[in-house]
Amino acid sequence: MITGLLTAMASNVALGWIGRRVFDWGGWIATFLGGAIGFYFSLSPHNQDVVMQVLSGNLANVTVGSVWGLIIVGITTWRSWRATVKPQVVTNTGKKVELPVLTEEDAKDMVERNTGVRPTHIPSRVK
């Protein structure tokens, strides 16, 4: 049965595409679930209880103050992530300096000034 399934996947374009996507989608799902579980366990016990109350649909026992605290935790976590992935330079005086946009030509010029060799694009080398 497994051999027949593998043969069908190899000969059928649609099944082959689905078979290749299983690991891709599975990786995304595992990453999301791992992040959600890690975020849940990083919460305080009170906020964990609020999350469980909200997910179970028992909103009558959830106070506005509890949800407000959970919202603040979510916003600060998002802002922390955003500050981590945003490229930035901070001087020793604490002032942020915006990074200039470096075009491909500027980068090639910089490499040529520093190394004496003008870089070429890899596909242009392959012939």
Dist CA 14 CA 12 (whole Å): 6
Does the residue 85 lie in any domain? no
CA distance 68 to 76: 12
User: In the structure encoding, which two tokens stand for residue 56, read together?
Assistant: 């179970």
Model's pTM, two decimal places? 0.43
Would residue 91 count as lying in a domain? no
In a domain, 23, yes or no: yes
- Residue 83 located in a structural domain: no
**Residue 105 lies inside a defined structural domain of this protein:** no
Q: Backbone phi, then psi, for 104, in 5-degree steps? A: -65, -40
Q: What is the pLDDT of residues 54-77, one digit of tens each?
A: 888 887 777 777 778 778 888 988
Q: How confident is the model at residue 32 (pLDDT cuts 50, 70, 90)?
A: confident
14 or 102, greater pLDDT = 102
User: For 16-29, what is each residue's pLDDT tens digit?
Assistant: 777 778 888 888 88
Q: How many domains does the chain have?
A: 1
Residue 48 lies in a domain: no
In a domain, 26, yes or no: yes
| H, E, C per residue of 30-85 | HHHHHHHHHHHHHCCHHHHHHHHHHHCCCHHHCCHHHHHHHHHHHHHHHHHHHHHH
Does residue 89 fall inside a structural domain? no
Query: Measuring CA to CA, which residue among 25, 60, 66, 61 is closest to residue 43?
Result: 66
What is the domain range of residue 4?
1-42
